[in-house]
Structures are given as structure tokens and as C-alpha cells.
Structure 1
């Protein structure tokens, strides 16, 4: 089976060699796969007043949990907020509408 991989060389992303002397199979990356860009979460600081407003927007929810969810969502969607405090408060309102009480 391994010899077939070596002979036919049909793997799109790897080439395979087999060294009979050492009885070793080696897979070589062909470099055909695109490298996913690294996405970093927005690392700025929120205005301290944002936490008070977030508590009003999502009563009962831990605002620090909401902040982690928001930052994760920003990262996943590659969003760089222009007005982070307003963006965070809107996220908290939407979160509360979808999840209501914790």
C-alpha cells in the first residue's frame, strides 16, 4: 500500500518517499496549501464606563464574560471596531436579546 503511494504520487499536498534500507516512509509537504492569515483579537482597552453601560444593556450577565465573548467574536469575524465602547454596548444588547437571563 505504501509503495503504491510512492509509485503513483497522487497525494495533492504531499510527495511520499520510501527508503527500503531503513524501511522508512517520509512525507514531504509540496507547499500547495495556503497559509491561513493569523487573526488577532482587538487588544484595546474599553472605557471603564462601558462596563456600567454593559450591565444596564445585559442585566444579570457578567460583563467580563461578555467582553471575552465580544473580543472572540471580533477576532472570529476580523472586525476592528471604530468606536469600541459603542460597539461593545451594542453587542451586549444583542446578546441579552438572544440569551436573556443567565
Structure 2
């Protein structure tokens, strides 16, 4: 991969997936920024709701949202199945 490029991976989460948790109510983003030395990587979670955004940097919070993300991606279709699903659905709108 060349510098400045990125990879985007889509995974479809079916409505019938059993992943509900109150933390899924609003979007969240988990950040891990490499940092040399003793400080280690910078890790935090950004939460956004209707009228506010918050940054959480406590280790427990980061671990909670990391586990939530793992649960969501585990319940979602894998990238190949997601692509096939999206292509089938796109055919319905052509």
C-alpha cells in the first residue's frame, strides 16, 4: 500500500443480528494512534449524539468500546458476503 492510501472494508450488519446494547444508540469511533517511547499508543473513543460529542480516554472506556466493536463486526456479514449482498440489493434498484 502506498503512503497516503487507505483501505475501506464494508460489513453489513443484518437487522436480525443479536447485538443490541444501549451503547449502540449513537455513533462512536475508536482511535489508536501509534506513539514511540514509554507513552505507548494514544487510545480514545469519540462519541457523538444529537447535540454533543465527547472524548473518552479512560482505559476501561476504550476496552468497553473495543469489545463492542468486536461484537458488532463479529455479528456482521464478512466483507465478501457483504459485497455480494450489496451487489444483489443494488440490482433491485437499477
Question: TM-score w.r.t. structure 2 length?
Answer: 0.26
Larger radius of gyration: 1
* TM-score normalised by structure 1 residue count: 0.24
The structure whose residues are more often strand, as a share, is: 2
Q: Which has the higher helix share?
A: 1
Bigger relative CO (Cα 8 Å, ≥ 6 apart): 2
